[in-house]
Amino acid sequence: MVENSFDSRRRRDRLSIMAELLDVAREGAHKTRIMYQANLSFAQLKGYLTLLIDLNLLEAVKTPRRTIYKTTEKGLRFLQSHREIIELLTEGKENDTKKANSLHLVKRGTRVSLL
């Protein structure tokens, strides 16, 4: 499971939010559940769902009552890669998942720094 990367001092990065949405939808979830568990507004959720569906990371399965969103195989690979990148970036550092999920790459001129 993806740890909640929300930190009151920092904004979550786009890839972490995408990973969180895909993790919630692993077994299938309704829009409301995804929105609350990922702590997003409805407008933000709509944008991310559209993006994830367009990238074939998430599928929308229509049922007679509601639409269920489910992570695709490609989405599961994205989740695994995201975890591996976080582990790689935090190797040799304190094993604190909150810090790991709040890492940000910042480009300043030609230099890239890890915050």
pLDDT tens digits for range 77-87: 999 999 998 88
| Phi, psi for residue 113 in degrees, rounded to 5 | -120, 150
User: What confidence score (pLDDT) does residue 7 get?
Assistant: 45
Specify the 3-state DSSP secondary structure of 24: helix
Q: Could you give the domains of the chain? A: 14-114 (1.10.10.10)
pLDDT at 91 over 90: no
Distance of CA 28 to CAs 49, 61, 65, 81, 111, Å? 13, 9, 14, 20, 40
Q: Does the model's pTM come out above 0.85? A: no
